Amino acid sequence: MTVAAKLPHNNPNVIPLPRHPMPLPPAASADGPNVAHAPSHPAESTSTTERMLSTAPTDSTPASHPDGEGDQGFTATHGKKQLAVKWGEANIEWGWVALPRIILEKQHALGLSSEDINIILQIAQYWHDPGSLPFPSKARIAKAMGVHPRTVQRRLTRLHELGFIQRIERKGGPKGTLSNQYSLAGLAERATPYAEEAIQERERQRSETAARLKRKRPKTQVKGGE
């Protein structure tokens, strides 16, 4: 993922996914009703920016996943070199995007379809830094997904109505309206309770494992001399 500044991620449950970054669109057609209005300041720069490097904390004791699968892949340090080993140097050099793991694990519980997740990923890849909301056009998202722009419009409307995303209208350009900005704050808020529950369950399992190992530890016997 390309960003304007280095953004450290200190959450081991953030999954880095390689992606193919494209230049941000200079303008797009109106994105429909039910959108908020952005301030009348100039739009963010669409010039090429530096790619994001993200490092998750190292955990020497891999957690045990509730379904029995280990978490080694998520607790290891995710620096650029480690990602290149996993995905290939060229793929990571071109860019990658991070998405909280809990959103993928709980997409059904959240009520998100596979198309919704795809659109969220498409939006997330243009989220350059926390202070600059992404604004890819529906046409660009549709082209990447191989669907009609109206399909993207319908899914965006649903995600907006359910509170997962907020569409923010931008004014300007030759036609008077630019592509919408998108905030994913609602999605993050909805996913947080699931993440907190998962963390509590992980800590409970770690405590149980530590207690079980302690019980199995043999006692040291000292033989006294006569």
* Structural domain contains residue 120: yes
Structural domain boundaries, residue 94: 14-38+52-211
* Structural domain contains residue 217: no
- pTM equals 0.64
* Structural domain contains residue 175: yes
* Structural domain contains residue 5: no
Question: Mean pLDDT for the chain?
Answer: 74
CATH for 104? 1.10.10.10
* Structural domain contains residue 226: no
Instruction: Please tell me the predicted confidence (pLDDT) of residue 115.
Output: 96
Instruction: Please tell me the predicted confidence (pLDDT) of residue 25.
Output: 42
Instruction: Please tell me the predicted confidence (pLDDT) of residue 13.
Output: 52
In this structure, the strands spanning 96-100 and 177-183 are unpaired
Residue whose tokens read 């890849």: 125
* Structural domain contains residue 155: yes
Query: Structure tokens of 32?
Result: 């429909």
* Structural domain contains residue 219: no
Instruction: Please tell me the predicted confidence (pLDDT) of residue 215.
Output: 84
Query: Structure tokens of 17?
Result: 């996914």
* Structural domain contains residue 1: no
Instruction: Please tell me the predicted confidence (pLDDT) of residue 149.
Output: 96
Task: Per residue of the chain (226 residues), give pLDDT as tens.
Answer: 433 333 334 444 555 555 544 444 444 444 444 445 444 333 333 332 333 333 333 333 333 344 434 443 344 446 889 999 999 999 999 988 989 999 999 999 999 999 999 999 999 999 988 889 999 999 999 999 999 999 999 999 999 999 999 999 988 877 777 899 999 999 999 999 999 999 999 999 999 999 988 887 766 666 665 4
Domain count, the chain: 1
How far apart, in whole angstroms, are the C-alpha atoms of residue 100 and residue 12? 9
